[in-house]
Structure 1
Protein backbone atom coordinates (compact mmCIF):
# COMPACT_ATOMS: atom_id res chain seq x y z
CA UNK A 1 0.00 0.00 0.00
CA UNK A 2 1.73 3.16 -1.17
CA UNK A 3 1.55 6.21 1.02
CA UNK A 4 2.36 8.77 -1.67
CA UNK A 5 -0.52 7.96 -4.03
CA UNK A 6 -3.29 10.51 -3.45
CA UNK A 7 -5.54 9.35 -6.29
CA UNK A 8 -9.20 9.37 -5.30
CA UNK A 9 -8.79 11.32 -2.06
CA UNK A 10 -11.12 14.19 -1.21
CA UNK A 11 -10.71 16.76 1.59
CA UNK A 12 -12.79 16.51 4.77
CA UNK A 13 -11.51 19.88 6.02
CA UNK A 14 -11.11 22.94 3.82
CA UNK A 15 -8.45 24.56 6.02
CA UNK A 16 -10.56 27.70 6.45
CA UNK A 17 -13.92 26.82 8.02
CA UNK A 18 -15.67 24.05 9.97
CA UNK A 19 -17.96 23.36 7.01
CA UNK A 20 -18.87 19.67 6.93
CA UNK A 21 -18.35 19.18 10.68
CA UNK A 22 -20.45 19.62 13.82
CA UNK A 23 -19.49 19.66 17.50
CA UNK A 24 -20.89 17.43 20.26
CA UNK A 25 -20.08 17.17 23.97
CA UNK A 26 -18.10 14.25 25.37
CA UNK A 27 -20.87 12.45 27.23
CA UNK A 28 -20.98 8.79 28.26
CA UNK A 29 -23.43 5.94 27.68
CA UNK A 30 -23.54 2.15 27.85
CA UNK A 31 -20.19 0.41 28.27
CA UNK A 32 -21.13 -2.12 25.59
CA UNK A 33 -24.30 -2.83 23.59
CA UNK A 34 -26.93 -3.79 26.17
CA UNK A 35 -24.55 -3.19 29.08
CA UNK A 36 -24.66 -0.81 32.04
CA UNK A 37 -23.86 2.87 31.67
CA UNK A 38 -20.42 4.10 32.65
CA UNK A 39 -21.96 5.86 35.65
CA UNK A 40 -23.82 2.70 36.75
CA UNK A 41 -20.68 0.59 36.46
CA UNK A 42 -18.50 3.14 38.28
CA UNK A 43 -20.72 4.87 40.87
CA UNK A 44 -19.11 7.90 42.46
CA UNK A 45 -16.44 8.24 39.79
CA UNK A 46 -18.33 11.01 37.96
CA UNK A 47 -20.65 13.75 39.19
CA UNK A 48 -24.29 12.67 39.07
CA UNK A 49 -24.99 15.43 36.56
CA UNK A 50 -21.90 14.70 34.46
CA UNK A 51 -23.68 14.39 31.10
CA UNK A 52 -25.70 17.57 31.69
CA UNK A 53 -22.58 19.54 32.63
CA UNK A 54 -20.63 18.08 29.72
CA UNK A 55 -23.39 19.14 27.34
CA UNK A 56 -23.10 22.68 28.70
CA UNK A 57 -19.31 22.75 28.17
CA UNK A 58 -18.48 21.17 24.80
CA UNK A 59 -14.97 21.59 23.48
CA UNK A 60 -14.08 24.68 21.46
CA UNK A 61 -13.12 24.08 17.83
CA UNK A 62 -11.46 26.79 15.77
CA UNK A 63 -9.51 27.13 12.53
CA UNK A 64 -6.05 28.64 13.01
CA UNK A 65 -3.34 28.92 10.35
CA UNK A 66 -5.02 26.27 8.21
CA UNK A 67 -5.42 23.81 11.09
CA UNK A 68 -8.49 22.54 12.92
CA UNK A 69 -7.80 23.15 16.63
CA UNK A 70 -9.54 21.61 19.64
CA UNK A 71 -9.42 22.93 23.21
CA UNK A 72 -11.41 22.49 26.39
CA UNK A 73 -14.23 24.93 27.15
CA UNK A 74 -13.04 26.94 29.00
CA UNK A 75 -9.29 26.15 29.22
CA UNK A 76 -8.71 23.95 32.26
CA UNK A 77 -12.44 23.38 32.83
CA UNK A 78 -12.03 19.61 32.54
CA UNK A 79 -14.83 19.07 30.00
CA UNK A 80 -14.31 17.45 26.63
CA UNK A 81 -15.97 17.13 23.28
CA UNK A 82 -15.85 15.91 19.70
CA UNK A 83 -15.94 17.45 16.28
CA UNK A 84 -17.78 15.11 13.96
CA UNK A 85 -18.08 14.74 10.20
CA UNK A 86 -21.54 15.38 8.81
CA UNK A 87 -21.00 12.48 6.44
CA UNK A 88 -20.94 8.80 7.39
CA UNK A 89 -18.20 6.47 6.20
CA UNK A 90 -17.69 2.71 6.22
CA UNK A 91 -14.54 1.40 4.52
CA UNK A 92 -11.92 4.07 3.86
CA UNK A 93 -8.34 5.27 3.80
CA UNK A 94 -8.04 8.37 6.01
CA UNK A 95 -4.98 10.62 6.03
CA UNK A 96 -4.16 13.73 8.02
CA UNK A 97 -1.48 15.51 10.02
CA UNK A 98 -1.73 16.02 13.79
CA UNK A 99 0.22 18.14 16.26
CA UNK A 100 -0.80 17.61 19.92
CA UNK A 101 0.45 19.58 22.89
CA UNK A 102 1.77 17.75 25.95
CA UNK A 103 -0.32 16.57 27.71
CA UNK A 104 -3.30 16.27 25.35
CA UNK A 105 -5.29 13.03 25.28
CA UNK A 106 -7.11 12.82 21.98
CA UNK A 107 -8.08 10.28 19.35
CA UNK A 108 -9.75 9.60 16.04
CA UNK A 109 -13.18 8.00 16.17
CA UNK A 110 -14.31 5.66 13.38
CA UNK A 111 -17.88 4.53 12.67
CA UNK A 112 -18.95 6.69 15.58
CA UNK A 113 -22.56 7.26 16.55
CA UNK A 114 -23.51 10.87 15.87
CA UNK A 115 -24.42 11.96 19.40
CA UNK A 116 -22.73 9.42 21.71
CA UNK A 117 -19.21 8.21 22.48
CA UNK A 118 -19.73 4.80 20.86
CA UNK A 119 -17.33 3.74 18.11
CA UNK A 120 -13.86 2.46 17.31
CA UNK A 121 -11.05 4.79 18.40
CA UNK A 122 -7.52 5.14 17.10
CA UNK A 123 -5.62 6.49 20.08
CA UNK A 124 -3.56 9.65 20.21
CA UNK A 125 -3.02 9.66 23.97
CA UNK A 126 -0.19 12.19 24.08
CA UNK A 127 0.25 12.09 27.86
CA UNK A 128 1.99 10.05 30.55
CA UNK A 129 1.35 6.31 30.19
CA UNK A 130 -0.66 6.93 27.03
CA UNK A 131 -0.30 5.22 23.69
CA UNK A 132 -0.40 6.46 20.11
CA UNK A 133 -1.58 4.46 17.11
CA UNK A 134 -3.32 1.69 19.05
CA UNK A 135 -7.06 1.13 19.44
CA UNK A 136 -9.81 1.50 22.03
CA UNK A 137 -13.43 0.32 22.07
CA UNK A 138 -15.52 3.32 23.11
CA UNK A 139 -18.79 1.95 24.49
CA UNK A 140 -18.06 -1.42 22.88
CA UNK A 141 -16.38 -3.11 25.87
CA UNK A 142 -13.47 -0.73 26.40
CA UNK A 143 -10.85 -3.00 24.88
CA UNK A 144 -7.41 -1.35 25.00
CA UNK A 145 -5.23 -2.73 22.21
CA UNK A 146 -1.87 -0.95 22.23
CA UNK A 147 1.74 -1.88 21.39
CA UNK A 148 3.44 0.19 24.12
CA UNK A 149 2.97 3.05 26.59
CA UNK A 150 4.74 6.40 26.55
CA UNK A 151 6.04 9.17 28.78
CA UNK A 152 7.82 12.45 28.25
CA UNK A 153 11.42 13.63 28.49
CA UNK A 154 11.88 17.07 30.03
CA UNK A 155 14.76 19.53 29.93
CA UNK A 156 16.50 21.13 32.92
CA UNK A 157 13.64 23.62 33.25
CA UNK A 158 11.01 20.85 33.25
CA UNK A 159 9.77 21.59 29.74
CA UNK A 160 8.69 18.58 27.64
CA UNK A 161 11.08 17.98 24.74
CA UNK A 162 10.62 14.38 23.54
CA UNK A 163 8.80 11.10 24.12
CA UNK A 164 10.22 7.98 25.74
CA UNK A 165 8.87 4.58 26.70
CA UNK A 166 6.84 4.54 29.91
CA UNK A 167 8.61 3.22 33.01
CA UNK A 168 6.53 0.41 34.59
CA UNK A 169 7.75 1.49 38.03
CA UNK A 170 6.15 4.92 37.70
CA UNK A 171 3.33 4.17 35.26
CA UNK A 172 -0.17 5.41 36.03
CA UNK A 173 -1.73 3.06 33.48
CA UNK A 174 0.59 0.03 33.30
CA UNK A 175 1.22 -1.55 29.93
CA UNK A 176 0.54 -5.28 29.83
CA UNK A 177 1.48 -7.77 27.11
CA UNK A 178 -2.20 -8.76 26.95
CA UNK A 179 -2.90 -5.34 25.40
CA UNK A 180 -0.37 -5.97 22.66
CA UNK A 181 -1.72 -9.49 22.15
CA UNK A 182 -5.03 -8.00 20.92
CA UNK A 183 -3.17 -6.65 17.87
CA UNK A 184 -2.38 -8.57 14.70
CA UNK A 185 0.60 -6.29 13.96
CA UNK A 186 2.55 -4.01 16.26
CA UNK A 187 5.74 -2.02 16.00
CA UNK A 188 8.25 -1.65 18.82
CA UNK A 189 8.40 1.39 21.07
CA UNK A 190 11.92 1.98 19.79
CA UNK A 191 10.76 2.14 16.17
CA UNK A 192 7.89 4.46 17.07
CA UNK A 193 10.12 6.86 18.99
CA UNK A 194 12.46 7.14 16.00
CA UNK A 195 9.51 7.98 13.76
CA UNK A 196 7.59 10.41 16.02
CA UNK A 197 8.25 14.15 15.66
CA UNK A 198 7.74 15.87 19.03
CA UNK A 199 6.09 19.30 19.00
CA UNK A 200 5.76 19.04 15.24
CA UNK A 201 3.36 17.73 12.62
CA UNK A 202 3.02 13.95 12.27
CA UNK A 203 1.49 12.18 9.27
CA UNK A 204 -1.25 9.65 10.06
CA UNK A 205 -2.84 7.08 7.82
CA UNK A 206 -5.77 4.92 8.98
CA UNK A 207 -7.37 2.18 6.90
CA UNK A 208 -10.55 0.41 8.03
CA UNK A 209 -12.39 -2.28 6.05
CA UNK A 210 -15.11 -4.84 6.70
CA UNK A 211 -18.41 -5.22 8.54
CA UNK A 212 -16.42 -6.55 11.50
CA UNK A 213 -13.45 -4.50 10.45
CA UNK A 214 -9.76 -4.82 10.23
CA UNK A 215 -8.01 -1.55 10.97
CA UNK A 216 -4.42 -0.35 10.64
CA UNK A 217 -2.63 2.85 11.61
CA UNK A 218 0.58 4.23 10.12
CA UNK A 219 2.42 7.23 11.54
CA UNK A 220 5.11 8.95 9.47
CA UNK A 221 5.12 5.90 7.21
CA UNK A 222 5.59 3.40 10.06
CA UNK A 223 2.94 0.71 10.55
CA UNK A 224 2.27 1.16 14.27
CA UNK A 225 -0.59 -1.28 14.84
CA UNK A 226 -3.27 -3.40 13.17
CA UNK A 227 -6.30 -5.11 14.68
CA UNK A 228 -8.93 -7.60 13.53
CA UNK A 229 -12.13 -6.49 15.24
CA UNK A 230 -13.95 -9.59 14.07
CA UNK A 231 -11.57 -11.89 15.92
CA UNK A 232 -10.45 -10.24 19.17
CA UNK A 233 -11.38 -11.90 22.43
CA UNK A 234 -12.13 -9.46 25.23
CA UNK A 235 -14.65 -9.42 28.10
CA UNK A 236 -18.08 -8.14 26.96
CA UNK A 237 -16.90 -7.69 23.37
CA UNK A 238 -19.20 -9.35 20.87
CA UNK A 239 -18.17 -8.66 17.28
CA UNK A 240 -21.61 -9.50 15.87
CA UNK A 241 -23.42 -7.29 18.41
CA UNK A 242 -20.99 -4.42 17.80
CA UNK A 243 -21.39 -4.68 14.03
CA UNK A 244 -25.17 -4.58 14.40
CA UNK A 245 -25.02 -1.71 16.88
CA UNK A 246 -22.62 0.56 14.96
CA UNK A 247 -23.74 -0.43 11.48
CA UNK A 248 -21.63 -0.58 8.32
CA UNK A 249 -21.05 3.19 8.30
CA UNK A 250 -20.59 5.86 10.93
CA UNK A 251 -19.10 9.26 11.55
CA UNK A 252 -15.44 10.19 11.87
CA UNK A 253 -14.67 12.40 14.86
CA UNK A 254 -11.74 14.09 16.59
CA UNK A 255 -11.63 14.25 20.37
CA UNK A 256 -10.82 16.60 23.20
CA UNK A 257 -10.78 14.41 26.32
CA UNK A 258 -12.21 15.36 29.68
CA UNK A 259 -10.07 15.33 32.84
CA UNK A 260 -11.54 12.14 34.33
CA UNK A 261 -13.02 13.75 37.43
CA UNK A 262 -10.91 11.99 40.03
CA UNK A 263 -8.55 10.38 37.53
CA UNK A 264 -5.59 11.92 35.73
CA UNK A 265 -6.83 15.49 35.94
CA UNK A 266 -4.62 17.93 34.07
CA UNK A 267 -2.19 15.08 33.47
CA UNK A 268 -4.67 13.97 30.81
CA UNK A 269 -5.35 17.38 29.25
CA UNK A 270 -3.22 20.35 30.25
CA UNK A 271 -4.89 23.61 31.22
CA UNK A 272 -3.95 25.42 28.01
CA UNK A 273 -3.46 22.35 25.83
CA UNK A 274 -4.70 21.94 22.28
CA UNK A 275 -4.51 19.41 19.50
CA UNK A 276 -4.17 20.57 15.91
CA UNK A 277 -5.21 18.79 12.70
CA UNK A 278 -4.70 19.63 9.06
CA UNK A 279 -4.70 18.15 5.54
CA UNK A 280 -7.56 15.81 6.47
CA UNK A 281 -8.59 13.78 3.44
CA UNK A 282 -10.34 10.49 2.73
CA UNK A 283 -10.72 7.86 0.05
CA UNK A 284 -13.69 5.55 0.37
CA UNK A 285 -12.88 1.92 -0.41
Structure 2
Protein backbone atom coordinates (compact mmCIF):
# COMPACT_ATOMS: atom_id res chain seq x y z
CA UNK A 1 0.00 0.00 0.00
CA UNK A 2 1.41 3.40 -0.98
CA UNK A 3 2.14 6.19 1.49
CA UNK A 4 -0.50 8.36 -0.19
CA UNK A 5 -3.14 5.60 0.19
CA UNK A 6 -2.31 5.16 3.90
CA UNK A 7 -2.59 8.91 4.49
CA UNK A 8 -5.94 8.99 2.74
CA UNK A 9 -7.30 6.20 4.93
CA UNK A 10 -6.08 7.92 8.09
CA UNK A 11 -7.78 11.16 7.07
CA UNK A 12 -10.96 9.22 6.36
CA UNK A 13 -10.93 7.58 9.79
CA UNK A 14 -10.35 10.94 11.44
CA UNK A 15 -13.31 12.42 9.54
CA UNK A 16 -15.62 9.60 10.61
CA UNK A 17 -14.51 9.97 14.20
CA UNK A 18 -15.33 13.69 14.07
CA UNK A 19 -18.85 13.14 12.76
CA UNK A 20 -21.62 13.81 15.29
CA UNK A 21 -23.16 10.73 16.77
CA UNK A 22 -26.85 10.05 16.64
CA UNK A 23 -28.65 11.59 19.56
CA UNK A 24 -30.75 9.45 21.82
CA UNK A 25 -33.69 8.19 19.76
CA UNK A 26 -37.27 8.70 20.80
CA UNK A 27 -39.53 5.82 21.77
CA UNK A 28 -39.91 4.90 18.09
CA UNK A 29 -36.15 4.77 17.56
CA UNK A 30 -35.99 8.00 15.55
CA UNK A 31 -33.92 11.04 16.47
CA UNK A 32 -35.86 14.31 16.17
CA UNK A 33 -34.16 17.64 15.54
CA UNK A 34 -35.44 21.17 15.11
CA UNK A 35 -33.75 22.43 11.95
CA UNK A 36 -35.52 25.81 11.97
CA UNK A 37 -38.05 27.51 14.24
CA UNK A 38 -41.24 25.49 14.15
CA UNK A 39 -39.85 22.78 11.84
CA UNK A 40 -38.76 19.52 13.46
CA UNK A 41 -37.70 16.53 11.37
CA UNK A 42 -36.57 12.99 12.08
CA UNK A 43 -32.88 12.36 11.39
CA UNK A 44 -31.36 9.01 10.50
CA UNK A 45 -28.10 7.63 9.23
CA UNK A 46 -28.43 6.16 5.75
CA UNK A 47 -25.57 3.70 6.30
CA UNK A 48 -23.26 2.68 9.17
CA UNK A 49 -20.74 5.41 9.93
CA UNK A 50 -22.58 8.15 8.06
CA UNK A 51 -23.83 11.22 9.89
CA UNK A 52 -27.58 11.51 10.42
CA UNK A 53 -29.49 13.51 7.82
CA UNK A 54 -33.07 14.84 7.69
CA UNK A 55 -35.72 12.36 6.61
CA UNK A 56 -37.86 14.73 4.53
CA UNK A 57 -40.25 11.96 3.59
CA UNK A 58 -41.72 12.28 7.08
CA UNK A 59 -41.89 16.07 7.09
CA UNK A 60 -45.15 17.76 8.03
CA UNK A 61 -44.89 21.31 6.81
CA UNK A 62 -47.34 23.97 7.99
CA UNK A 63 -50.11 24.85 5.54
CA UNK A 64 -49.33 27.56 3.01
CA UNK A 65 -50.68 30.97 3.94
CA UNK A 66 -53.80 32.10 2.11
CA UNK A 67 -53.93 35.80 1.23
CA UNK A 68 -57.45 36.82 0.20
CA UNK A 69 -58.17 40.58 0.28
CA UNK A 70 -60.90 41.73 2.62
CA UNK A 71 -64.31 41.67 0.94
CA UNK A 72 -63.28 39.08 -1.67
CA UNK A 73 -64.54 35.50 -1.97
CA UNK A 74 -62.20 32.68 -3.09
CA UNK A 75 -63.15 30.99 -6.36
CA UNK A 76 -60.21 28.55 -6.25
CA UNK A 77 -60.06 26.36 -3.16
CA UNK A 78 -56.38 25.45 -3.39
CA UNK A 79 -57.15 21.71 -3.50
CA UNK A 80 -58.86 20.88 -6.78
CA UNK A 81 -60.68 22.38 -9.78
CA UNK A 82 -64.10 22.56 -8.14
CA UNK A 83 -66.09 25.40 -9.73
CA UNK A 84 -64.02 25.29 -12.93
CA UNK A 85 -63.94 23.21 -16.10
CA UNK A 86 -61.67 22.84 -19.12
CA UNK A 87 -63.27 24.14 -22.31
CA UNK A 88 -63.83 21.36 -24.84
CA UNK A 89 -64.10 23.80 -27.75
CA UNK A 90 -61.39 26.42 -27.12
CA UNK A 91 -59.45 27.46 -30.20
CA UNK A 92 -56.24 27.34 -28.15
CA UNK A 93 -56.69 23.61 -27.56
CA UNK A 94 -59.05 21.30 -25.73
CA UNK A 95 -56.73 19.27 -23.51
CA UNK A 96 -54.47 21.61 -21.55
CA UNK A 97 -52.99 20.36 -18.29
CA UNK A 98 -54.37 22.07 -15.18
CA UNK A 99 -53.23 20.60 -11.88
CA UNK A 100 -53.26 21.72 -8.25
CA UNK A 101 -50.06 21.31 -6.25
CA UNK A 102 -49.40 22.74 -2.78
CA UNK A 103 -52.22 25.26 -3.06
CA UNK A 104 -51.07 26.42 -6.50
CA UNK A 105 -52.98 26.04 -9.76
CA UNK A 106 -50.55 25.04 -12.50
CA UNK A 107 -51.32 25.32 -16.23
CA UNK A 108 -49.34 23.71 -19.06
CA UNK A 109 -49.64 22.68 -22.68
CA UNK A 110 -50.44 18.98 -22.95
CA UNK A 111 -48.29 18.65 -26.07
CA UNK A 112 -46.33 21.22 -28.08
CA UNK A 113 -48.87 23.70 -29.39
CA UNK A 114 -51.84 22.31 -27.45
CA UNK A 115 -53.11 24.88 -24.95
CA UNK A 116 -56.60 25.74 -23.81
CA UNK A 117 -58.74 27.48 -21.20
CA UNK A 118 -59.91 26.76 -17.67
CA UNK A 119 -63.37 28.30 -17.32
CA UNK A 120 -65.51 29.18 -14.31
CA UNK A 121 -68.80 27.30 -14.04
CA UNK A 122 -70.46 30.56 -12.94
CA UNK A 123 -71.01 33.71 -14.98
CA UNK A 124 -70.00 37.13 -13.70
CA UNK A 125 -71.12 40.61 -14.72
CA UNK A 126 -69.34 43.41 -12.85
CA UNK A 127 -66.50 42.34 -10.59
CA UNK A 128 -63.02 42.77 -9.23
CA UNK A 129 -60.76 39.74 -9.65
CA UNK A 130 -57.70 39.31 -7.44
CA UNK A 131 -54.97 36.68 -7.77
CA UNK A 132 -51.24 35.99 -7.60
CA UNK A 133 -49.55 34.95 -10.83
CA UNK A 134 -46.12 33.47 -11.60
CA UNK A 135 -45.49 32.50 -15.23
CA UNK A 136 -42.35 30.99 -16.68
CA UNK A 137 -40.55 33.25 -19.13
CA UNK A 138 -41.92 33.53 -21.83
CA UNK A 139 -45.21 31.60 -21.49
CA UNK A 140 -48.21 33.47 -22.91
CA UNK A 141 -51.41 33.79 -20.90
CA UNK A 142 -54.36 36.03 -20.14
CA UNK A 143 -57.64 36.33 -18.28
CA UNK A 144 -60.82 36.09 -20.39
CA UNK A 145 -64.19 37.49 -19.32
CA UNK A 146 -67.60 37.70 -20.97
CA UNK A 147 -66.28 34.94 -23.17
CA UNK A 148 -67.71 31.99 -25.07
CA UNK A 149 -66.41 28.48 -24.49
CA UNK A 150 -64.58 28.78 -27.82
CA UNK A 151 -62.67 31.80 -26.54
CA UNK A 152 -64.42 34.72 -28.26
CA UNK A 153 -64.56 37.47 -25.69
CA UNK A 154 -62.63 40.14 -23.85
CA UNK A 155 -59.17 39.53 -22.42
CA UNK A 156 -56.64 41.10 -20.09
CA UNK A 157 -53.26 39.99 -21.40
CA UNK A 158 -50.53 38.60 -19.15
CA UNK A 159 -47.57 37.86 -21.37
CA UNK A 160 -44.19 39.18 -22.45
CA UNK A 161 -44.93 39.15 -26.16
CA UNK A 162 -44.12 42.26 -28.15
CA UNK A 163 -46.05 42.41 -31.41
CA UNK A 164 -47.01 44.79 -34.19
CA UNK A 165 -50.64 45.02 -33.06
CA UNK A 166 -51.95 48.52 -32.57
CA UNK A 167 -52.55 48.11 -28.85
CA UNK A 168 -48.86 47.48 -28.13
CA UNK A 169 -46.13 50.08 -28.28
CA UNK A 170 -43.14 48.14 -27.04
CA UNK A 171 -41.83 45.34 -24.84
CA UNK A 172 -43.84 44.49 -21.78
CA UNK A 173 -47.00 46.36 -22.68
CA UNK A 174 -48.98 43.14 -22.98
CA UNK A 175 -48.83 42.94 -19.19
CA UNK A 176 -52.30 44.15 -18.32
CA UNK A 177 -53.60 45.27 -21.73
CA UNK A 178 -57.37 45.17 -22.40
CA UNK A 179 -58.01 43.54 -25.79
CA UNK A 180 -60.49 41.47 -27.76
CA UNK A 181 -59.90 37.78 -28.39
CA UNK A 182 -61.19 35.30 -30.95
CA UNK A 183 -62.51 37.96 -33.35
CA UNK A 184 -63.91 40.30 -30.69
CA UNK A 185 -62.44 43.79 -30.80
CA UNK A 186 -62.03 46.69 -28.39
CA UNK A 187 -62.88 50.10 -29.80
CA UNK A 188 -61.70 50.49 -33.36
CA UNK A 189 -58.67 48.23 -32.89
CA UNK A 190 -58.86 44.92 -34.80
CA UNK A 191 -58.40 41.82 -32.69
CA UNK A 192 -55.78 40.50 -35.11
CA UNK A 193 -53.01 42.07 -37.11
CA UNK A 194 -53.65 42.98 -40.76
CA UNK A 195 -52.91 40.05 -43.02
CA UNK A 196 -49.66 40.21 -44.94
CA UNK A 197 -49.26 39.01 -48.50
CA UNK A 198 -46.85 36.04 -48.94
CA UNK A 199 -43.91 38.24 -49.90
CA UNK A 200 -44.38 40.49 -46.87
CA UNK A 201 -44.84 37.51 -44.59
CA UNK A 202 -41.63 35.89 -45.84
CA UNK A 203 -39.69 39.11 -45.21
CA UNK A 204 -41.15 39.71 -41.75
CA UNK A 205 -38.88 38.48 -38.92
CA UNK A 206 -40.52 35.70 -36.94
CA UNK A 207 -40.15 35.50 -33.16
CA UNK A 208 -38.24 32.56 -31.78
CA UNK A 209 -39.91 31.74 -28.48
CA UNK A 210 -37.89 28.58 -28.10
CA UNK A 211 -35.06 31.03 -27.34
CA UNK A 212 -36.97 34.10 -26.12
CA UNK A 213 -35.15 37.42 -26.18
CA UNK A 214 -34.23 39.00 -22.87
CA UNK A 215 -36.42 42.06 -23.21
CA UNK A 216 -36.75 44.88 -20.69
CA UNK A 217 -39.63 44.38 -18.28
CA UNK A 218 -41.64 47.22 -16.71
CA UNK A 219 -40.64 48.21 -13.20
CA UNK A 220 -43.98 47.03 -11.83
CA UNK A 221 -43.35 43.41 -12.88
CA UNK A 222 -41.24 40.90 -10.91
CA UNK A 223 -39.93 38.40 -13.41
CA UNK A 224 -39.87 34.74 -12.28
CA UNK A 225 -41.57 35.75 -9.01
CA UNK A 226 -45.11 35.99 -7.71
CA UNK A 227 -46.99 39.06 -8.92
CA UNK A 228 -50.31 40.30 -7.56
CA UNK A 229 -52.91 41.14 -10.23
CA UNK A 230 -56.23 42.92 -9.71
CA UNK A 231 -58.71 43.39 -12.56
CA UNK A 232 -61.85 45.52 -12.30
CA UNK A 233 -64.62 45.11 -14.90
CA UNK A 234 -67.71 47.32 -14.72
CA UNK A 235 -70.47 48.46 -17.07
CA UNK A 236 -72.44 46.86 -19.90
CA UNK A 237 -69.91 48.64 -22.11
CA UNK A 238 -66.96 47.39 -20.12
CA UNK A 239 -64.68 49.76 -18.27
CA UNK A 240 -61.56 47.74 -17.40
CA UNK A 241 -58.85 48.75 -14.95
CA UNK A 242 -55.80 46.64 -14.19
CA UNK A 243 -53.33 46.86 -11.32
CA UNK A 244 -50.15 44.77 -11.05
CA UNK A 245 -48.32 44.80 -7.72
CA UNK A 246 -50.30 47.86 -6.73
CA UNK A 247 -49.45 49.87 -9.85
CA UNK A 248 -52.29 50.81 -12.20
CA UNK A 249 -51.11 49.67 -15.63
CA UNK A 250 -54.23 50.28 -17.75
CA UNK A 251 -57.64 51.95 -17.59
CA UNK A 252 -59.76 51.53 -20.71
CA UNK A 253 -63.44 51.74 -21.66
CA UNK A 254 -64.66 50.07 -24.83
CA UNK A 255 -66.52 52.24 -27.36
CA UNK A 256 -69.43 49.77 -27.36
CA UNK A 257 -70.29 46.32 -26.09
CA UNK A 258 -68.39 44.11 -28.54
CA UNK A 259 -68.92 40.85 -26.66
CA UNK A 260 -70.60 38.03 -28.57
CA UNK A 261 -74.34 38.67 -28.61
CA UNK A 262 -73.80 41.77 -26.49
CA UNK A 263 -73.43 39.62 -23.37
CA UNK A 264 -73.06 41.56 -20.12
CA UNK A 265 -72.35 38.51 -17.95
CA UNK A 266 -70.18 35.56 -18.79
CA UNK A 267 -67.57 33.14 -17.51
CA UNK A 268 -64.03 34.01 -16.49
CA UNK A 269 -61.30 31.89 -18.07
CA UNK A 270 -57.58 31.38 -17.51
CA UNK A 271 -55.59 30.84 -20.69
CA UNK A 272 -52.78 28.49 -21.63
CA UNK A 273 -51.90 29.94 -25.03
CA UNK A 274 -51.86 27.54 -27.96
CA UNK A 275 -49.14 27.29 -30.61
CA UNK A 276 -45.42 26.83 -30.21
CA UNK A 277 -44.07 30.33 -30.95
CA UNK A 278 -45.36 31.63 -27.62
CA UNK A 279 -44.59 28.64 -25.46
CA UNK A 280 -41.38 26.77 -24.73
CA UNK A 281 -41.70 23.04 -24.00
CA UNK A 282 -41.97 22.59 -20.26
CA UNK A 283 -43.25 26.09 -19.48
CA UNK A 284 -45.65 26.40 -16.55
CA UNK A 285 -48.13 29.07 -15.47
CA UNK A 286 -48.99 29.36 -11.78
CA UNK A 287 -51.96 31.00 -10.04
CA UNK A 288 -52.91 31.14 -6.37
CA UNK A 289 -55.26 33.07 -4.06
CA UNK A 290 -57.84 33.54 -6.84
CA UNK A 291 -60.75 35.53 -5.43
CA UNK A 292 -63.56 37.78 -6.63
CA UNK A 293 -65.69 40.65 -5.38
CA UNK A 294 -68.90 41.11 -7.32
CA UNK A 295 -69.98 44.70 -7.98
CA UNK A 296 -73.47 46.16 -8.36
CA UNK A 297 -75.21 46.05 -11.75
CA UNK A 298 -74.92 49.82 -12.09
CA UNK A 299 -71.16 49.89 -11.36
CA UNK A 300 -69.17 51.93 -13.85
Which interval holds the TM-score relative to the shorter structure?
A: 0.5 to 0.7
Equivalent of 1:8, from 71, 75, 78? 71
1:171-211: CA deviation from partner (whole Å, max 9, x where unpaired): xxxxxxxxxxxxxxxxxxxxxx2221110000000000000
Give the structure, 1 or 2, with the largest relative contact order (CA under 8 Å, sep 6 or more).
Answer: 1
Equivalent of 2:184, from 124, 134, 140? 140
1:210-256: CA deviation from partner (whole Å, max 9, x where unpaired): 00110010000000001111x2xxxxxxx25x256141110000000
Unmatched 5+ stretches in structure 2:
1-66, 164-171, 192-210, 296-300
For 1:159 and 1:112, how far apart are their aligned partners in 2?
29
**Is it true that 1:61 corresponds to 2:69 in the alignment?**
no
For 1:271 and 1:106, how far apart are their aligned partners in 2?
15
Residue 261 of structure 2 aligns to a residue whose secondary structure is: helix
Please give the TM-score of this superposition, normalised by the length of structure 1: 0.64
Contact 1:25 1:59 in 2 (8 A): no
Residue 151 of structure 2 aligns to a residue whose secondary structure is: coil
**Is it true that 1:71 corresponds to 2:108 in the alignment?**
yes
Unmatched 5+ stretches in structure 1:
29-50, 146-157, 166-192, 232-238, 260-264
1:39-83: CA deviation from partner (whole Å, max 9, x where unpaired): xxxxxxxxxxxx8xx44xx21100012111110012xx2111000
Equivalent of 1:88, from 102, 123, 131? 123
Q: Quote the offset at 1:127 in angstroms.
A: 3.9
Equivalent of 2:139, from 83, 104, 117? 104
* The structure with more strand, counted as a fraction of residues: 1
Structure whose alpha-carbon radius of gyration is higher = 2
Measured on the aligned residues, the alpha-carbon RMSD in Å equals: 2.5
Please give the TM-score of this superposition, normalised by the length of structure 2: 0.61
Equivalent of 2:216, from 164, 185, 188? 164
Q: How many residues align?
A: 198
